[in-house]
Amino acid sequence: TAAPATANNAVAATATVITNIASLVTNDPSLGDGSPLGLIQDAAVVIAGDRVVWIGESSKAPATDNRVDAGGRAVIPGFVDSHSHLVFAGDRTAEFNARMSGQAYAAGGIRTTVAATRAATDEALEANVTRYLREALLQGTTTFETKSGYGLTVEDEARALRIAARHTDEVTYLGAHIVSPDFADDPASYVSLVTGEMLDACAPHARWIDVFCEKGAFDGDQARAILTAGKAAGLHPRVHANQLSYGPGVQLAVELDAASADHCTHLTQADVDALASGDTVATLLPGAEFSTRAEWPDARRLIDADVTVALSTDCNPGSSFTSSMPFCIALAVRDMGMTPNEALWSATAGGAAALRRTDVGRLAPGARADLAILDAPSHVHLAYRPGVPLVSAVWRRGEQVV
Ligand code: NIG
Ligand code: FE
C-alpha cells in the first residue's frame, strides 16, 4: 500500500481524498489482503485529475483540500460493462410477454428492432443511448462497450456506430447480427456486403468487430470470413458464441484471438479447454438467460478451469433489457456458481480484460479514477441485497457524476 513519493505535497492543492472507506476493492493483488480483489479495510483513495494517485489505509492518507467522508461504506471500481446493444429504437414488450407465457426465445425478434431502428431519427437513437447510459451510470457503470447490429444496411450500421462513438471508445461493428431481411434469400451476398462496403463504411468508427455465430444467424465459416475481414481492416474480434446451442463460436474466438467469447451458455469440454488455453475472456450475460428463461451458463466450471470470466449486461430490447450490473452480479452468484468476490471481480476487472484494458476495472495509483461508493459496508451486499439500489455515489474520470 505504498504511496508514490509525490503524493503528499504535489497533489495537495487539487486532489480529492475519499476517506473512511470500510472496505475497498482495488482488484490489485499487490495491495491490501493479497487476494485477487486486493481488499483494504479502513481505506482511503486519493484522486488527482482523472487518475487515482494514492491508495492505502485511511490513517496514512495525505492531506488534500477536498475531503469526502465515505461514512464507513464500501468502495469498488466502477463497473466495466463490456457487452451492450444500446443503439436501438422501440421495445419488445409483446415478445417478452409471450415468452413469459411459455414461448421460446428465437433471435428472429431482432428483425422487429431492426425495423424500428431504421425508422428512427438520429435524435431519437441518440436520446435512447443517453437514457440507458444514465441508467447504467446510476448503477455504477463507468466504462461500457456498445454495438451496432440493428441497422443492417451500410448507412444504418455506420450511423449506429457514429452515435455510439459519441459516448464511448469501445464501439463494436456488428453488421453480422443476423442476415439482413433484405438478403433473406441470399445470405452469401449479405456476408459480402458485411465484409466489403459495409466494413469500409464502419471500420473508421469502431474498435471491434463482432458476429452472432449461431444457427439462424451466421455459421462458423461465415463468422470466420467476417472476423478475418474485420481484422484485415484493423478491427479486433469478439464473438457472440454458443448462446442458444452448441457450436463453433467459442473455438473460433480463441483461434482468432478474440478479446472475448460472449454468452458461453452451451459449452463442450473442448470449448472450455480452448478458452483455458488462450487469452480469450468468457463473458457471461446472465440477464439474457433471465429474460429468455434459458439454462444458466456454468461460471463455476469456467473459473475452476482457470478461464478468465467477465460479467456484462448484454443490454438490448430483446434478450436482456437490463442496464444493471448489480442485477447481473446477483444472478451470477445465485444461479451460476460464482462467489460474491468472483462476481465483483468479473464485473470490473473481468470486463476490463474482455476489452483488453488495464486502466479501468481496478483502483491503484495510475488507474483511472472510476469508482462507486456503495450504501453498504462491503461489496458482498450487491448479491446479498438484490434489487436494492446500493450505488450511492459514482466518480468517473476523477469527477463525481452521481
Ligand atoms: O446478445 N444474441 C444475439 N444478440 C442479442 C439479442 C438481440 C435481440 O434479441 O435483439 C444478444 O442476446
Ligand atoms: Fe449481445
- CA 291 to chain CA centroid, Å, is 18
CA 362, 363, 368, 372: dihedral to nearest 10 degrees? 90
Cell of 86: 444500446
Q: Look up residue 258 and give its DSSP letter.
A: -
Half-sphere exposure of 283 (CA within 13 A, CB side): 36
Is residue 259 a contact partner of residue 237, using CB atoms and an 8 Å limit?
yes
- How many whole angstroms from 149 Cα to the centroid of ligand 2? 9
- How many whole angstroms from 242 Cα to the centroid of ligand 1? 12
Per-residue confidence of the chain (402 residues) as pLDDT tens digits? 444 444 444 555 689 999 999 999 999 999 999 999 999 999 999 999 999 999 999 999 998 889 999 999 999 999 999 999 999 999 999 999 999 999 999 888 999 999 999 999 999 999 999 999 999 999 999 999 999 999 999 999 999 999 999 999 999 999 999 999 999 999 999 999 999 999 999 999 999 999 999 999 999 999 999 999 999 999 999 999 999 999 999 999 999 999 999 999 999 999 999 999 999 999 999 999 999 999 999 999 999 999 999 999 999 999 999 999 999 999 999 999 999 999 999 999 999 999 999 999 999 999 999 999 999 999 999 999 999 999 999 999 999 999
Ligand nearest, relative to CA of residue 82? 2
Residue ID of nearest Cα to ligand 1 atom 6: 319
Q: Is the dihedral of CA 97, 103, 107, 111 positive or negative?
A: negative
Interatomic CA distance for residues 368 and 223, integer angstroms: 35
Ligand nearest, relative to CA of residue 146? 2
Interatomic CA distance for residues 240 and 18, integer angstroms: 39
Ligand nearest, relative to CA of residue 177? 1
Interatomic CA distance for residues 31 and 75, integer angstroms: 15
Interatomic CA distance for residues 347 and 362, integer angstroms: 11
Model ipTM value: 0.96
> Cα angle at 131 between 286 and 52, to 5 degrees?
75
Pocket lining: 243 vs ligand 1, CB cutoff 6 Å: yes
- How many whole angstroms from 319 Cα to the centroid of ligand 2? 8
- How many whole angstroms from 317 Cα to the centroid of ligand 1? 8
Is residue 352 a contact partner of residue 373, using CB atoms and an 8 Å limit?
no
- CA 268 to chain CA centroid, Å, is 24
Mutation test residue for ligand 1: of 316, 320, 322, the one with most atoms within 8 Å of CB: 316
**Radius of gyration from C-alpha coordinates of the chain:** 21
Cell of 367: 488507474
Residue ranges and CATH numbers for the domains of the chain are: 7-78+361-400 (2.30.40.10), 80-354 (3.20.20.140)
Question: What pLDDT, on a 0 to 100 scale, did the predictor assign at position 109?
Answer: 94
Pocket lining: 210 vs ligand 1, CB cutoff 6 Å: no
Is residue 102 a contact partner of residue 164, using CB atoms and an 8 Å limit?
no
Largest pairwise CA distance in the chain = 69
Please report the atom of ligand 1 found closest to the CA of residue 292.
12
Complete edge-to-edge strand list for the sheet that includes strand 141-147: 79-81, 141-147, 170-176, 208-213, 236-241, 260-263, 281-284, 309-311
Pocket lining: 109 vs ligand 1, CB cutoff 6 Å: yes
Residue 301: exposure state from Cβ atoms within 10 A (0-12, 13-18, ≥19): middle
- How many whole angstroms from 84 Cα to the centroid of ligand 2? 6
Helix, strand, coil shares of the chain, percent, nearest 5, are 35, 25, 40
Residue 13: exposure state from Cβ atoms within 10 A (0-12, 13-18, ≥19): exposed
Q: Which residues of 103-130 are buried (b: 16+ CB within 10 A; e: fewer)?
A: eebebebbebbbebbeebeeeebbebbe
